[in-house]
Amino acid sequence: MTAPLHETSAGASTATVDGAPADPGTSGTPDKGIQGRSPWKIAWTRLKRDKLALAGACVVGFLILVAIFAPLIVGLLGHPPDEFHEDQIDPLFGTPIGSWGGISSDFLLGVEPVNGRDVFSRIVYGARISLLVAFLAAVFAVLLGTVLGIVAGYFGGWIDAALSRVMDVMLAFPQLLFTIALVSVLPNELFGIEGSGVRIGALVVVIGFFGWPYVGRIVRGQTLSLREREYVEAARSLGAGRLYILRKELLPNLVAPITVYATLMIPTNILTEAALSFLGAGVKPPTASWGQMLSKAVNTYESDPLFMVIPGLAIFITVLAFNLFGDGVRDALDPKGSR
């Protein structure tokens, strides 16, 4: 079940008001004379006007800080994420004693059913796993997709045919099932890495590996059309080598679509990581992750709904913030998309 995790909306746009002048040449203020503006500056002006995208960016920034300073935050406001607090649990039902999932000034987001671990700490530490895996997997997918997409698009011929077939096969591959199969045969120790490190590495590689064809397809298509442009022709006729053309003529023009795709890939990756954890193929307990908390909540949500709502909201808010930001970046970089 690949699709629900992947935003298939390659061209979907939220049509933000695009008030930036279209032609940079005519927009300089008269007293300063004509000022050149790079495409990036124009994009930035547009992005600044997009309130929703900025709100998304703020939340994203906040979450990144939370992830980085997780030990500090938990030290100040919570209990160690693996510490059991059975005194907070009703021994008969296994549910938290306090109302609202045991929320109190001591346990800000309540306690986990049965063992009484601090939900707040686990959410904060869960942000680390979620963001780390999503970022690294996106980087991996973008690198692989860009290189292979350019190679396919620029060299064409049998290389293109072969790479395109590989992408087709990978897009038909049931990612979730395949990944849970793969993770279930992975040993606890691999290449000298132990414990949750193996799983995190495996998650990054697998999510990234299944993500590259999406980037690859876009980069290939762009490269195909770019390499026929006059300026590439001009460079070639001036005697520029293949590598020079790739680096200086094609790559700069690919940065915008790649940036857009990379930004929109992160929320997808967060959902994939959470889904895998939910299915028991994510990081191993006791390392905290949001998907894993939800998977535990399957058994307890009828008596303790808050333990289900909190990690669910954490995923929702994070993904929504990244999506808002990503949509904003796309609209800013690709004015054609919101015609």
Partner 1 sequence: MLAYIVRRLFAVVVMLLVVTLVTLSIFFLIPKLTGSDPAAMFVGKQADPASIEGIRQKLGLDEPILVQFWHFVSGIFVGRDYTGGGDSIHCAAPCFGYSFKTEQDVWTMLVDRIPVTLSMVVGAAVLWLLMGVTTGVVSALKRGTAIDRAAMVTALAGVSLPIYFTAMLAMFLFRTQLGWLDAKYVPFAESPGGWFAGLLLPWVTLAFLYAAMYARLTRATMLEVLGEDYIRTARAKGLPEPVVLGKHAMRSTMTPILTIFGMDLGALVGGAVLTETAFNLSGLGNAAFKAVGDRDLPVILAVTLITAASVVIANLVVDLLYAVIDPRVRLA
| 98 forms part of the interface with partner 1 (CB under 8 A) | no
Least gap, CB of 13 to partner 1 (angstroms): 5
What's the CA gap between 101 and 125, in Å, rounded? 19
Owner of token pair 């990581």: 273
Which residues 127-156 are close enough to bind partner 1 by CB under 8 A? none
Which residues 13-72 are close enough to bind partner 1 by CB under 8 A? 13-15
| 171 forms part of the interface with partner 1 (CB under 8 A) | yes
Through-space distance between the first and last CA atoms of the chain, rounded to whole angstroms: 33
With CB under 8 A as the contact rule, the residue among 44, 49, 279, 334 that binds partner 1 is: 279
| Residues 266 and 134: beta-carbon distance below 8 Å | yes
| 267 forms part of the interface with partner 1 (CB under 8 A) | yes
What's the CA gap between 102 and 90, in Å, rounded? 10
Helix (H, G, I), strand (E, B) or coil at 228: coil
Size of the site for partner 1 (CB under 8 A): 58
The 10 Å Cβ neighbour count of residue 161 is: 11
Q: Where are the alpha helices (DSSP H) in 173-289?
A: 175-185, 196-226, 230-237, 242-244, 251-278
With CB under 8 A as the contact rule, the residue among 108, 114, 143, 180 that binds partner 1 is: 180
Radius of gyration (Cα) for the chain, nearest Å? Answer: 24
Which residues 294-333 are close enough to bind partner 1 by CB under 8 A? 294-295, 297-298, 301-302, 305, 308-309, 312, 315-316, 319-320, 323-324, 327
- Closest CB to partner 1 among residues 7, 50: 7
What's the CA gap between 283 and 129, in Å, rounded? 8
- Closest CB to partner 1 among residues 246, 315: 315
With CB under 8 A as the contact rule, the residue among 54, 147, 173, 236 that binds partner 1 is: 173
| Residues 287 and 200: beta-carbon distance below 8 Å | no
Retrieve residue 20's tokens: 């930036």
Which residues 186-225 are close enough to bind partner 1 by CB under 8 A? 186-187, 190
Least gap, CB of 168 to partner 1 (angstroms): 7
Residues 6+ positions from 93 with CB-CB distance below 8 Å: 303
What does the angle CA 307 – CA 313 – CA 316 come to, to the nearest 5 degrees? Answer: 145
- Please choose, out of 21-29, 76-84, 252-260, 267-275, the segment that lies near partner 1 by the rule CB under 8 A: 267-275
Interface with partner 1 (CB under 8 A) = 1-4, 7-9, 11-15, 168-169, 171-174, 176-178, 180-182, 184-187, 190, 267, 271, 274-275, 278-281, 291, 294-295, 297-298, 301-302, 305, 308-309, 312, 315-316, 319-320, 323-324, 327, 337-339
